Amino acid sequence: MRKQIAAANWKMNCTYQQAESLLADVLNNQVSLKKNQQVIFAVPYPYLIMANSEVAEEENYFVAAQNCYTRKSGAYTGEVSAEMLQSIGIRHCVIGHSERREYFNEDNNMLAEKVNICLEYEITPIFCCGESLAIRDAGTQNDHVEIQLKESLSHLSEVDIQRVVIAYEPIWAIGTGKTASTAQAQEMHAHLRAVLTKKYGSLVSDNISILYGGSVKAGNAAELFSCPDVDGGLVGGASLIAADFISIIKGLK
Ligand code: 13P
């Protein structure tokens, strides 16, 4: 059975002290998760070790990095490798967030390499895809995300694709307060699953979690997550407010 996941993407927010108290506020609430549910905190690099030790005793709670580099090691000043993440016990990493695609020129081919290196080091990539407003207005969003998936993931084996979590994040909904409607989210998630089914068959595609991201809030999470092909969310702004993120976790199926 595929996992239902509430993933917090803190982005470049919080001091160390704020990070500690935000995490404590969420964890102290002790939301008990069902077997098929997970909570993941994608935190800035300097907080990974602290956060990972905070969740160590909590079943189904994990910590993710927000990025890693394509290479194993070497003269790449300022970069962080998947091997480094593995060596501190990190088992998840966000890959290809639209902010990285836009501000750091990450393209589909580079992201394929990042997915590969994560899998090599036993790290689950949370692979992000999604279209801009111009693409949505032109009505070509399905083709756009299909190409993103094909160019970054379609080289993976049947076994490896099931080690990936996909996050659909329409760029026009990120940080804008504009959420995709449940119909828009379900339609795209069903399309993504159909693309996966075409290549890998339905036994495989049924097993892959596809998260929705883009202005997920306490007030809309449960409705979005109730869509049959929406398996939880990747949450930015609302994950920085403990009470809101707790409500979002409670909205998981
Ligand atoms: P918001 O929830 O702030 O719209 O951000 C979504 C996002 O980018 C999560 O990765």
For ligand 1, is residue 214 a contact (CB within 6 Å)? yes
Q: Does pLDDT of 174 surpass 90?
A: no
- Tell me what pLDDT residue 245 has: 98
Q: Does pLDDT of 178 surpass 90?
A: no
- Tell me what pLDDT residue 1 has: 80
Look at residues 55, 59, 8, 51 and name the one whose alpha carbon lies nearest to residue 33.
59
User: Measured from the CA of 173, which atom of ligand 1 is nearest?
Assistant: 4
User: Measured from the CA of 94, which atom of ligand 1 is nearest?
Assistant: 10
For ligand 1, is residue 209 a contact (CB within 6 Å)? no
For ligand 1, is residue 178 a contact (CB within 6 Å)? no
CA distance 25 to 247: 13
Q: Is 216 exposed, middle or buried (0-12, 13-18, 19+ CB in 10 A)?
A: buried
169 is catalytic: yes
The full DSSP string for 138-154 is: HT-HHHHHHHHHHHHHT
In tens, the pLDDT along 96-129 reads 999 999 999 999 999 999 999 999 999 999 999 9
Q: Does pLDDT of 176 surpass 90?
A: no
CA distance 246 to 6: 9
For ligand 1, is residue 39 a contact (CB within 6 Å)? no
For ligand 1, is residue 215 a contact (CB within 6 Å)? yes
Stated pTM of the model: 0.97
Give the CATH number of the domain where residue 149 resides: 3.20.20.70
- Ligand 1 centroid–CA 10 distance in Å is 9
167-196: string of b/e by CB count within 10 Å (b at 16+)?
A: bbbbbbbbeeeebbebebbbbbbbbbbebb
Banded pLDDT at 13 (limits 50, 70, 90): very high
Banded pLDDT at 31 (limits 50, 70, 90): confident
Query: What SS3 state is found at 95?
Result: strand
Q: Give the residue whose CA is nearest to atom 7 of ligand 1.
A: 236
Q: Name the domain count of the chain.
A: 1
97 is catalytic: yes
Q: Give the residue whose CA is nearest to atom 5 of ligand 1.
A: 236
Element (H, E) at 124: strand 124-129
- Ligand 1 centroid–CA 40 distance in Å is 14
- Average pLDDT over all residues of the chain: 96
* Strand-strand pairing, 232-235 and 4-9: parallel
- Tell me what pLDDT residue 179 has: 86
- Tell me what pLDDT residue 180 has: 86
- Tell me what pLDDT residue 30 has: 78
Q: Give the residue whose CA is nearest to atom 2 of ligand 1.
A: 236
In tens, the pLDDT along 62-84 reads 999 999 999 999 999 999 999 99
Q: Does pLDDT of 235 surpass 90?
A: yes
Print the domain residue range for 89. Answer: 4-250
- Tell me what pLDDT residue 99 has: 97
Q: Does pLDDT of 188 surpass 90?
A: yes
Asked if 178 contacts 212 with a C-beta cutoff of 8 angstroms, the reply is no
